[in-house]
Structure 1
Amino acid sequence: MADKLHFSLVSPARELFSGEVDHVIAPGTEGEFGVLANHAPFMTTLKNGVVRVLDGGNTSMRLFVRGGFADVTPAGLTILAEEAVNLESMDAAQVQKDMDALRIKILEEGKDSGHHDALEEEYAYLESLKAALSH
């Protein structure tokens, strides 16, 4: 039997997953990367995107992360995400409603608002989450 990789994904709210898997593919800021058991140690930052957990040749879980760090050690892979959700628990219609409400707020506050950049960043996050849900 092939070696398994210990994988843990943690957000400030909670631990979303911890267990033994075959392979994890994550959205690094320098490009997507994969980690198998016995991978060489490294640390990198993450961009918004989908973390795919594979068992055998099949994707067993899709988690959406909002930035963070990935740390590969001899003990396995740990992802510390700024925010993370299991895509199976997300509703695309609700994400669209959130986007619509946020767009209205952005337009009402205008570009001179002190919150404009943060609101635009939140909107970009929701757009990427919606795109991940459609794939």
Structure 2
Amino acid sequence: MANTVQIDVVSAEESIFSGEAEFVVAPAKMGEVGIYPNHAPMITTLKSGSLKIKLADKKEEHLIYVSGGILEVQPGIITVLSDTAIRAKDLDENKAAAAKKAAEEAMKNKKSDIDYAKAQAELAEAMAQIQAIEKLRKIKH
């Protein structure tokens, strides 16, 4: 049996994932972080992107889209708290593409700096979802 760490991923609505992992890669604000069992304790903020979980004793990796949030690493457990967390297989590519297009249009037709900032945030979230879908495709092939 491989050396593992417990990971729990929770969104505002529900628990998305709970299980044992050999390693986890998370989209931290300052860049991706890799976490293996016995990692030093830490807390960091997350940006929109893909959380990659290498399941214990399995070849597959589990991808979860997170819209940002908090990552906490403690001895023996990793906790991810996110406003929105969606299993990559449940992401809707057409919906993400439509959101991207709408955000790009809103950026072109801005009425104020607030509108532009909101459109930028929506564009970043849509792009992160599309990237998660593309990563899932690569894993399947």
Helix, strand or coil at the partner of 1:127: helix
Higher mean Cα deviation, 92-101 or 60-69? 92-101
Aligned equivalent of 2:59: 58
Higher mean Cα deviation, 45-54 or 115-124? 115-124
Query: Which residue identity is paired with 1:120?
Result: Q
Aligned equivalent of 1:42: 42
Q: What are the superposed Cα offsets for residues 30-80 of structure 1, whole Å, 9 maximum, x if unpaired?
A: 221122222221111112211111024734310111111111112410011
Query: Which residue identity is paired with 1:44?
Result: T
Higher mean Cα deviation, 98-107 or 50-59? 98-107
| Structure 1: gaps spanning 5 or more residues | none
* Structure 2: distance between partners of 1:54 and 1:122: 29
Structure 2 length-normalised TM: 0.81
RMSD (Å), alpha carbons: 2.1
* Structure 2: distance between partners of 1:27 and 1:33: 7
Aligned equivalent of 2:98: 97
* Structure 1: distance between partners of 2:113 and 2:44: 33
Aligned equivalent of 1:69: 70
* Structure 2: distance between partners of 1:105 and 1:49: 22
Query: Which residue identity is paired with 1:77?
Result: I
* Structure 2: distance between partners of 1:41 and 1:104: 42
Q: Give 1:105 deviation, angstroms.
A: 4.7
Aligned equivalent of 1:129: 129
Count of residues paired in the alignment = 134
Q: Whose helix fraction is larger, Structure 1's or Structure 2's?
A: 2
Helix, strand or coil at the partner of 1:58: coil
Helix, strand or coil at the partner of 1:45: strand
1:3 and 2:3 correspond: yes
| Structure 2: gaps spanning 5 or more residues | 136-141
